[in-house]
Amino acid sequence: MDINERFQLAKKDYEKLGIDVEKALEKLSKVKISIHCWQGDDITGFEVEERSLSGGIDVTGNYPGKARNPKELRMDLEKALSLIPGKHKVNLHAIYAETDGVAVDRNEIEPKHFKNWVDWAKKMDLGLDFNPTLFSHPKAEVATLSHPDEEIRDFWIEHCKKSRNIGEYFGKELGQPCLTNIWIPDGYKDIPSDRLTPRKRLKDSLDKIFEEKIDEKYNIDSVESKVFGIGLESYTVGSHEFYMNYAAKNNKIYLLDAGHFHPTEVISDKIPSLLLFNDKVALHVSRPVRWDSDHVITFDDELQEIAKEIVRNDALDRVIIGLDFFDASINRVAAWVLGTRNMIKALLFALLMPNDELKKLQEEGDFTKRLVLMEELKSYPLGDIWNYYCHINNVPIQDEWYSIVKEYENEELSKRK
């Protein structure tokens, strides 16, 4: 039986549950995932000065083939994108500026340093998102936007302002808004004697950063919270409550990273609450293993729950889905492809559920049938619908994409020293 025949049969199964499969695929095709560029080079970037990764995050592994320059990074992204169904966005960090060998400090970055990315995005029909980089820099050793020294704070405020202008440039050039996301590593290793003052300074810095009004047609802003980092175990200035309140009061988007909460706390449960009070919510979908380890996302329970909360609350256009994982112990192109395909597949899984029926069962108190249906759906022929979706989007089905990545590894990645 070929892909089409299997699709037709599978469709019948879902139709019995009242699901319109074609409509689900149509919806899925409109979803853009923001694919983070930093999986390709272990968050190294292209700055002229050699700087090691800081900020309490870590990339482990030394699988060969890490991208060493913009040309390689874009080439690797192109390979990954050719194996992922749909049209998406690429998420950049400020450290991916191209400055022609000239040292340009973070407070001096300009749109022109991202022209190559924009030209490439146009050629590839991609959107771009952006992040100021407030780590891996000598001025970020102690703190950034909450630093006690005003001069250092101003440096980082300027960096964030410049970043928003770059976001605006992306939006204008590419005809779709850029999400510019602020994450800072500020915090303390040990018990603080004052939790309020650094937060006051962060609040004040953010107010300054957002003073300039930028048309939301071009740039939208988000703020990302965290609970701890390596070396910052006891206190994080930009905590969950801090940013959730800041975003709500200032009309900014709150960004939930799946790895930034306590080990048994999940972001899926937070999505509906945020949707009730905000027009938009942003995500960094990641997979924490015992800590914020940023493993490649798998098709696990939490990924499915995240997708379900987006889909059944009809929020595919209100939840901005970004990915944030970085594994250097496996083929980096494979990591991108696998993680992004899993995200899309999880959305498809959620789209192929009788969500109205399931809600009704809960309202009626029929928890037995609710559980039965949710469990049985796990072995419905999702794979046949997924293969068909890949097929009509001209990308390989099942694990067939892997041999293409392997070939790319043999011919390209393995030759990088």
Is 332 a binder of Zn ion (CB under 5 A)? Answer: no
The catalytic residue among 88, 113, 226, 295 is: 226
Residue 158 or residue 257: which is nearer to ligand RNT going by CB? 257
The CB-of-279 to ligand RNT minimum distance in angstroms stands at: 22
Q: How far apart are CA 65 and CA 417, in angstroms?
A: 7
Is 324 a binder of ligand RNT (CB under 6 A)? Answer: yes
All residues at 6 or more sequence positions from 281 whose CB lies less than 8 Å from its CB, including other chains:
253, 254, 255, 256, 271, 274, 275, 315, 318, 319, 320
Residue 143 or residue 255: which is nearer to Zn ion going by CB? 255
For ligand RNT (CB under 6 A), the number of binding residues is 11
The CB-of-57 to ligand RNT minimum distance in angstroms stands at: 5
The CB-of-287 to ligand RNT minimum distance in angstroms stands at: 12
345: nearest Cα among 383, 315, 312: 383
Mark whether 324 is an active-site residue. yes
The CB-of-80 to ligand RNT minimum distance in angstroms stands at: 17
Residue 57 or residue 67: which is nearer to Zn ion going by CB? 57
The CB-of-126 to ligand RNT minimum distance in angstroms stands at: 19
Q: Any bridge partners for residue 257, and if so which?
A: 284
Mark whether 257 is an active-site residue. yes
Is 38 a binder of ligand RNT (CB under 6 A)? Answer: yes
Determine if residue 288 is left, alpha or beta; phi over 0 gives left, psi from -120 to 50 gives alpha, anything else beta: beta
Mark whether 189 is an active-site residue. no
Q: How far apart are CA 70 and CA 227, in angstroms?
A: 32
The catalytic residue among 324, 327, 384, 409 is: 324
Is 19 a binder of ligand RNT (CB under 6 A)? Answer: no
Q: How far apart are CA 253 and CA 36, in angstroms?
A: 18
DSSP 276-301: HH-S-EEEEE-B-SSSS--BPP-S-H
Q: How far apart are CA 86 and CA 341, in angstroms?
A: 10
Among ligand RNT, Zn ion, none, residue 130 binds (CB under 5-8 Å by kind): none
Asked if residue 333 lies in contact with residue 45, where contact means CB atoms within 8 angstroms, the answer is: no
- Piece of 317-325, 375-383, 386-394, 409-417 that binds Zn ion (CB under 5 A): 317-325
Mark whether 203 is an active-site residue. no
- Outline where DSSP puts E strands in 56-96: 89-93
Q: Residues 126 to 185: which contact ligand RNT by CB under 6 A?
A: 131, 183
Asked if residue 38 lies in contact with residue 326, where contact means CB atoms within 8 angstroms, the answer is: yes
Is 240 a binder of Zn ion (CB under 5 A)? Answer: no
Give the interface with ligand RNT as residue ranges (CB under 6 A).
38, 43, 57, 131, 183, 224, 226, 257, 284, 292, 324
Name the residues annotated as catalytic. Answer: 183, 224, 226, 257, 260, 284, 292, 294, 324
